Structure 1
């Protein structure tokens, strides 16, 4: 039974992410934990003098949040007829990442699914939004994060591209979430390595062998994309040519993603703002 955590601020893009989450594991019962933080409302209206008023305010905000979560629960249940779901609700005035960390530790969360706001949201994802902050602070048990654009209409992730710089020692990294997606949706997996040298290099070839070993029980094709100047052009062209509907990236501080996470790449990716992302944390 998969356990999915879905943060929500009750916006349309958050609901779109929730809808996507309900379709990730269509063949098994899922637990979905809806999470809402009213940190901003509470901190803005808190009195430093009247402690009693603060407690009353907390209770009021908590009740209001639970009412909204309950409405959201009924709405997604109606939109998910025939899908076996168990929906839990959690709300708190703590920062979102603290709530998420506690739930990951205490309730065995498998994945997090978050929404983002179209092309501008995509830019925020790569340049330091709440999504990236959450990814950085998911500790001590990092989990994969699906990022679903507001403009995305649900498509089963049947064509999955994993863009990698192959600078990671894959012997240390489990890739079960990718394999689960492939098996569940009978997806095609495209391993894409973009390099700007005449040849990939020994380290890349060694890590590629380790990656192949990790993926030996699923089918995939490998694509070596040479791009001397603009890596984002090569990846964008690949996404178009193969009708990719899920892009997998590993979040880490150096290598391919550091080069890709710039304005040029983000502007290019904005044209693909309907494509959900699966981000594997750096220490995953």
Structure 2
């Protein structure tokens, strides 16, 4: 039994996340937890919140959640899937953190607006806040209106400077088992030669992924890592990008480049953010 959490704000973004989740786990026994935070509505719609407004927001949210559950069951007649609704007045990241602990959640699936999840990191969105503050569960970010494609090819950018833990690699491994995916490990050559520590970390990756399909790729550095990754996605038809979110890691290095604001990923693909 897998427990999957999907934050819901009734937008096209969250609808995309729901549809992707149902397809991704169509062959798995799952409980999908739909989480709606009324705190998001309250904090952005009014400067002064009355108890009556809070109560009305809760009632409206509950009604919409029940409608979503019925619609999902009607359109996804999968006997392996079960659904549960959670409504909270906590801030979204707090509500998510509580849901993870109370329901043994193993993955969060969120929608985001824009051509790629990376662009949204600059916009101060809910997705950004969740990634920055929720550190105890992987997050799969789905681009808006993304049509499901089985993640047969999963890209994994790394600088080899970090010794990945078993827990971090297990998240990647679990994703590959769903569709017998191939992991394409990509390194951007910013150095002339690898250090002993980097070589040791490569050996560890090889050992841990021994029973998986994987390949190592090396790309010459052109100073703009975002462009390198975009070309890698195109060249190898990557269906999902996976990154470990640690300080000075690939996510931070790519997203701090102003150029990424102007770029669009083609194809648009989901981003699996693995917490350290």
* Structures share fold, TM-score greater than 0.5: yes
- The 5 Å alignment of 1:157-172 reads 157-171=151-165
- The Cα offsets for residues 105-150 of structure 1, whole Å up to 9 and x where unpaired, read as 11100000000112276412256532222122225xx111000001
Q: Quickly say closer, same or farther: Cα 1:204–1:280, change in 2 above 3 A.
A: same
Q: Which residue of 2 aligns with 1:189?
A: 183
Distance 1:106 1:164, change over 3 A: same
- Per the alignment, in what secondary structure is the counterpart of residue 183 of structure 1? helix
Number of aligned residue pairs: 274
Choose the corresponding residue for 1:264, options 253, 259, 264.
Answer: 259
Per the alignment, residue 111 of structure 1 pairs with 107
Pairwise CA RMSD: 2.1
- Mapping of residues 72-91 of structure 1, within 5 Å: 72-82=68-78, 84-91=80-87
- Partner Cα separation in structure 2 for residue 165 and residue 83 of structure 1: 42
Gaps of 5+ in 2: none
Tell me whether 38-47 or 109-118 shows the greater mean CA deviation.
Answer: 38-47
**In structure 2, C-alpha distance between the alignment counterparts of 1:105 and 1:82, rounded to whole Å:** 26
Tell me the equivalent position of 1:13.
13
Alignment of 1:90-239 (within 5 A): 90-119=86-115, 122-125=118-121, 128-139=124-135, 142-171=136-165, 173-239=167-233
Partner-residue secondary structure (3-state), 2:168: coil
**d(CA) in 2 for partners of 1:17 and 1:256?**
24
Question: Given the superposition, is the C-alpha separation of residues 40 and 114 from structure 1 closer, same or farther in structure 2, using an over 3 Å criterion?
Answer: closer
Q: Unaligned regions of 5+ residues in structure 1, if any?
A: none
Contact 1:2 1:25 in 2 (8 A): no
